[in-house]
A and B are shown apart, each in its own frame.
Chain A
Amino acid sequence: MRVAVIGAGVIGLSTALCIHEQYHRLVPSLDVEVYADRYTPRTTSDGAAGLWQPYLSDQGNLQETLWNRETFEYLLGHLGSPAAKEMGLFLISGYNLFTQPVPDPPWKNIVLGFRNLTPKELELFPGYSYGWFNTALMLECRRYLPWLSTRLTQRGVKFFQQKVESFQEMFARGVDVVINCTGVRAGELQPDPELQPGRGQVIKVLAPWVKHFIITHDMASGTYNSPYIIPGSEFTVLGGINQHGNWSEENSAQDHKTIWENCCRLLPALQGAKIVEEWSGLRPARPRVRLERETLHHGHSQAEVIHNYGHGGFGITAHWGCARAAARLLGGILQGKPPQPRL
């Protein structure tokens, strides 16, 4: 049974690991391979700060909240393990800021110590009149992806550096199941008008005195289009750009100015920070994550694709729950279950 995972970002690698962990003993002939044109540190995941935090609302997609919870609890369980540092995993506390009161998010009981901000705390952030404090997790992909890769290599999973042009190409080689974790470029394998880039730009600075994440929200401009500051283990990430439909991966001087000015206004202490790097990436934005099985016809036979893409700005947040869900779908295929009817 040959399973090919296309995509080596956080979704692709974690799905490959989850599948191998679950099935390699049950299916002795299981052969998992990873195909991607970009590997760490050049994936979209590598540019993300790595903060576990879903969007403010799951828009009724309870599935997503469950995937997020599953991911958080999985990571929390690894915090005390010797692998945590190598994984790039650690606890972090911080602030979400608003200009008006908002309902509590669906993830308030997933994170630790969720509470409203006190008036004294809000004094730190002029212009914001409401907010939350909580402790969450950081999972830095510049460490997590290499860690996943090492685990996969230890398990005998093979990696191929190449751009896959079609699902058919995989089936022609004898792959039985393709796991499609191609993120923002999934449309190149199968058109998907619902998938759009959510272009982001970030500035990485040296600001080791910053110990909290600070995420501002502007209900008018939309998620991640308002300044945010996220301290990592080496750098602090400044961001606040989310341009729907913009495919450019080039850094924009205008966006740089927006990010820098807004973040320095939010945290005056940043003015002393040294800029180390600037990066642009494309969030694979979709109204909901595409996580489903599809049967394709290949000549006279059928072949299976499991789609796992469209995680927008919360890929890290949802990754493990989604990997497990993808693994369950593979389980269905292995058991010879017919695909679920499309609703």
Chain B
Amino acid sequence: MTAPKVAVVGAGVIGLSTALCITETSPSCSVTVLSDQFSPNTTSDAAAGMLIPHTYPGTPIHVQKQWFKETFRYLFAISNSAEASEAGIHLVSGWQIFKSTPKEELPFWSDVVLGFRPMSKAELQKFPQHQFGQAFTTLKCDCPPYLLWLEKRLKANGIQMYTRKVTDLWELHSEYNIVVNCAGIGAHQLVEDKKLFPIRGQVLKVLAPWVKNFIRDGDGLTYIYPGMHQVTLGGTREKDSWSLSPDPGTTKDIFDRCCSLEPSLREAQDIKVKVGLRPSRWCVRLQREVLSQGGVKLPIVHNYGHGSGGFSVHRGTAKEAARLVRECIASLQGSSSRAKL
């Protein structure tokens, strides 16, 4: 097999970064991205893209930490280069605040972000309802810029991208040798994964360029994340809600909650509303599978179910997926040479 044909299904941050890693580690592959949605209409486009990990109950912590470290290192280098503004990657400092002191004062990622420390009493005075807080500096990936930048890198590497709704992975078996499933919430239908469920998030994107620091309530429900052009105000975590329509009552509630943390947001302009369905799962499904029908095999690499932590671990899981693709290629080459004997 000289040039294995790999299809990556999904063009959110996971699909695009996985496609990029595959071309980096297996340059002989011909990679094609297939998705029914591209930026600015992916789940990733609704996200703020903050590098603050979500904890997956079903994945060992050291693995999650490795993914986060990998992702942080990769983005840190871009943020410090001439490409930073095009890629939409920038450092941002701020505070995570808690109404009552959390059980775990030192999250597993505290030594990966920069300058992590508890907030001082003086800093906490800005948040009279909160008793405890953590200050740190982390990275933010603005979307669409980051996805568009990934698409540009992919095109430069000769990757083709097509708008196509894949309804069944098997339908690709005649055109491709390996399929990588980065369908995010789409995997619920695509591979009928009932362990995958949406956690609906509504956010506001507003103009408030004087907001330079992030503020996040440790309960994960209220957050203010300043991006290049807009500030993302959040949010909601509605388990099992599939609705992509913005809810006006929720909009007002998000706005009020954020204004109580940052009163100057009352002057924010140009409020836009977005909704995304976090592809949530007990653990990220990052594994190989082989589909077979009538003696024909189709190797699959799954890379989906990143929930609210997609941006935080995307590069780490993409690299692991690319490694699994290499394994698939090696297997295919092994079996094809066996077939020749």
Other-chain contact of B115, A121, A268, A272 (Cβ < 8 Å): A121
Other-chain contact of B84, A93, A112, A120, A272 (Cβ < 8 Å): A272
Stretch at the interface among A4-12, A84-92, A149-157, A178-186: A84-92
- In the complex, are the beta carbons of B126 and A79 less than 8 A apart? yes
CA distance A113 to B81 in the complex (A): 28
Stretch at the interface among B57-65, B85-93, B332-340: B85-93
A182 to B: closest C-beta gap in Å: 31
- In the complex, are the beta carbons of A268 and B267 less than 8 A apart? no
Specify the chain B residue showing the minimal Cβ separation from A213. B212
Other-chain contact of B90, A117, A138, A211 (Cβ < 8 Å): A211
- In the complex, are the beta carbons of B213 and A268 less than 8 A apart? no
Residues of B193-231 whose CB lies within 8 A of A: 209-213, 226, 228-229
Interface of B is mostly: mixed
- In the complex, are the beta carbons of A90 and B211 less than 8 A apart? yes
Tell whether B264 is near chain A: CB-to-CB under 8 Å.
yes
- In the complex, are the beta carbons of B119 and A84 less than 8 A apart? no
Tell whether B327 is near chain A: CB-to-CB under 8 Å.
no
Other-chain contact of A93, B88, B142, B213 (Cβ < 8 Å): B213
Specify the chain B residue showing the minimal Cβ separation from A267. B80
Tell whether A82 is near chain B: CB-to-CB under 8 Å.
yes
Specify the chain A residue showing the minimal Cβ separation from B81. A268
B-side contacts of A118, CB under 8 Å: 114-115
Tell whether B79 is near chain A: CB-to-CB under 8 Å.
yes
Other-chain contact of B120, A81, A112, A269 (Cβ < 8 Å): A112
- In the complex, are the beta carbons of A113 and B119 less than 8 A apart? yes
Tell whether B263 is near chain A: CB-to-CB under 8 Å.
yes
Residues of A81-127 whose CB lies within 8 A of B: 81-82, 84-86, 88, 90-93, 112-113, 115, 117-118, 120-121, 124
- In the complex, are the beta carbons of B84 and A82 less than 8 A apart? no
Other-chain contact of B210, A85, A117, A120, A271 (Cβ < 8 Å): A85
Tell whether B135 is near chain A: CB-to-CB under 8 Å.
yes
Most buried by B among A112, A115, A133, A207: A112
CA distance A210 to B92 in the complex (A): 8
A-side contacts of B252, CB under 8 Å: none
Tell whether A273 is near chain B: CB-to-CB under 8 Å.
yes
B48 to A: closest C-beta gap in Å: 14
- In the complex, are the beta carbons of A85 and B213 less than 8 A apart? no
What is the number of residues of chain B that contact chain A, defined by CB distance less than 8 Å?
A: 38
- Kindly state the interface size class of chain A when it binds its partner: 35 or more
B-side contacts of A207, CB under 8 Å: 85
Other-chain contact of B137, A92, A121, A208 (Cβ < 8 Å): A121
CA distance A234 to B269 in the complex (A): 14
With A115-B117, A211-B93 already in contact, the answer to whether A91 and B267 are too (CB < 8 A) is: no
A-side contacts of B84, CB under 8 Å: 209, 268-269, 272
Other-chain contact of B264, A79, A112, A113, A269 (Cβ < 8 Å): A79
CA distance A212 to B92 in the complex (A): 7
With A207-B85, A212-B91 already in contact, the answer to whether A269 and B79 are too (CB < 8 A) is: yes
Residues of B67-124 whose CB lies within 8 A of A: 79-86, 88-94, 114-115, 117, 119-120, 122-123
CA distance A57 to B91 in the complex (A): 29
CA distance A272 to B80 in the complex (A): 12
B295 to A: closest C-beta gap in Å: 54
Residues of B234-276 whose CB lies within 8 A of A: 263-264, 266-267
CA distance A211 to B119 in the complex (A): 19
A284 to B: closest C-beta gap in Å: 27
- In the complex, are the beta carbons of A233 and B209 less than 8 A apart? yes
Other-chain contact of A90, B79, B212, B229 (Cβ < 8 Å): B212
A-side contacts of B91, CB under 8 Å: 124, 211-212
Other-chain contact of B93, A209, A210, A212 (Cβ < 8 Å): A212
B-side contacts of A269, CB under 8 Å: 79-82, 84-85, 90
Most buried by B among A233, A268, A269: A269
Tell whether A332 is near chain B: CB-to-CB under 8 Å.
no
CA distance A133 to B88 in the complex (A): 23
Specify the chain B residue showing the minimal Cβ separation from A94. B93
B-side contacts of A82, CB under 8 Å: 263, 266-267
Specify the chain B residue showing the minimal Cβ separation from A124. B80
- In the complex, are the beta carbons of A121 and B81 less than 8 A apart? no
Q: Residues on A close to B: CB < 8 A?
A: 79-82, 84-86, 88, 90-93, 112-113, 115, 117-118, 120-121, 124, 133, 135, 138, 207-212, 231, 233-234, 268-269, 271-273
A-B contact pairs, 7 of them (CB 8 A): A80-B264, A81-B263, A82-B267, A92-B212, A138-B210, A268-B81, A272-B82
Known: A113-B120, A133-B93. 13 other contacts (CB 8 A): A82-B267, A85-B267, A90-B264, A91-B212, A91-B213, A120-B114, A133-B137, A135-B123, A208-B229, A209-B228, A212-B93, A268-B82, A271-B82
